[in-house]
Amino acid sequence: MWTNTLNRRTLLASLGAAGAAAALPTAAAARAGGEHRPAYLGSFSWTDPPGRGFDVASHDLSSGQLHPIRSVEGVPDASWLAFSPDRHVLYTTNELVPNGSVTALSLRDPRNPRIINTRSSRGAGPTHLSVHPSGRFLLTANYTDGTVAVHRLEVDGSIGESTDLVRHTSELRAPHAHQVGTDPSGRWVVAVDLGADAVFTYRLDTESGELRRNQRLSTPAGSGPRHLAFHPDGRHAYLLNELASTVTVLRWDAASGTFELGDSVSTRPPGAVGENYPAEIVVTRDDCYVTNRGDNTIAHFKVSGRGRRLHLTGTSDTGGDWPRHCTLDLSRRWLYVANQNSGTVTRMSRDSVTGSLSPVVDTVEVPGVVVVAL
């Protein structure tokens, strides 16, 4: 899942175009009605009431409704989910288990995922993972340790031996790797570190599975960069800063594998007060959406200047508490929000022309929910 330039590959390129086209319905088919596809929900175990770890739901492609089906035992604290290029395997972080681990689940029967295997993430607090577009490697960001791990993926989708572990460094605060994925060109691995106030780019050797650093982009001290999403043009990206409640426009050069800092804009309207910690960012050609934990809103930005500028148009109440993750469905008609502390997934309608969001359409109870994968 890059998180979220919408075609759940880009986290980015983690869905190959051919595989996604073969496995996913078209937007027209989604509007035709009557078709249901599985959706997958990850949750934390420490919430009140505690989350179940990993749930399967039915997603009505016509109405947009989610209907929980069942939970899968043995997948604790699944805080992030990523599909293999052919969508036959789903990978999850197990963030809060001792020392951290990652799990592979077979989706040969999509409504009844089966655990293939689980391996150590080689660090504590794995908070994010993605599949390299080659389909041969799993990339994991370990938040607590400030490390990025690489695991080889076997033919059956199981997680093989780790091939590399890189450790970020920071002078002011402990490093906390929060996201790792691949750029739209598929040539570069990008890791965002909240503690180090930096974005790292690496070249992955697809023979050895080793990462070689290419750039360290420093962001303003204390900004706390959390997640990054690329614009569909492949020349810009938007960096969400958790501690500063801002989004920074980045210029991206795929030839050299380097970012350049642009302007930053607040995720909150003027005069907003109180603590706020943005969590997730979703980007389309013309719009950008950000979850605000604290304000409990979705911030909506218009994209202009061929991707170079963002303008905050307003915020919408998520209808829940502590919105951590959000995602758009394939048709881009619906935005789904995982409200962690209220244990709800709320759904909002999106205007296809203006990009504006409606008030919450409906709510599904999922204790401790933190991520939704469609």
pLDDT tens digits, one per residue of 334-361:
999 999 999 999 999 999 999 999 999 9
Instruction: Write the pLDDT tens digit of every residue in 62-71.
Output: 999 999 999 9
Using only C-alpha atoms, the chain has a radius of gyration, in whole angstroms, of 19
Which of 120, 138, 141, 243 lies closest to 193, judged by CA?
A: 141
Could you give the percent of the chain with pLDDT greater than 90?
A: 90
Instruction: Write the pLDDT tens digit of every residue in 72-112.
Output: 999 999 999 999 999 999 999 999 999 999 999 999 999 99
Give the model's pLDDT for residue 44: 98
Residues 6+ apart with CB under 8 A from 314: 269, 299, 300, 356
What is the token pair recorded at 194?
Answer: 């909240």
Within the chain, residue ranges assigned H as helices are 17-23, 27-32
- Per this entry, what is the length of the chain? 374
Instruction: Write the pLDDT tens digit of every residue in 249-264.
Output: 999 999 999 999 999 9
Rounded distance, CA 226 to CA 46, Å?
22
Report the CATH number of the 2-373 domain: 2.130.10.10
Rounded distance, CA 44 to CA 47, Å?
6
pTM of the predicted model as reported, rounded to 2 decimal places = 0.92
Half-sphere exposure of 302 (CA within 13 A, CB side): 11
**Ordered strands of the 137-142 beta sheet:** 126-131, 137-142, 147-153, 159-167
Rounded distance, CA 284 to CA 357, Å?
14
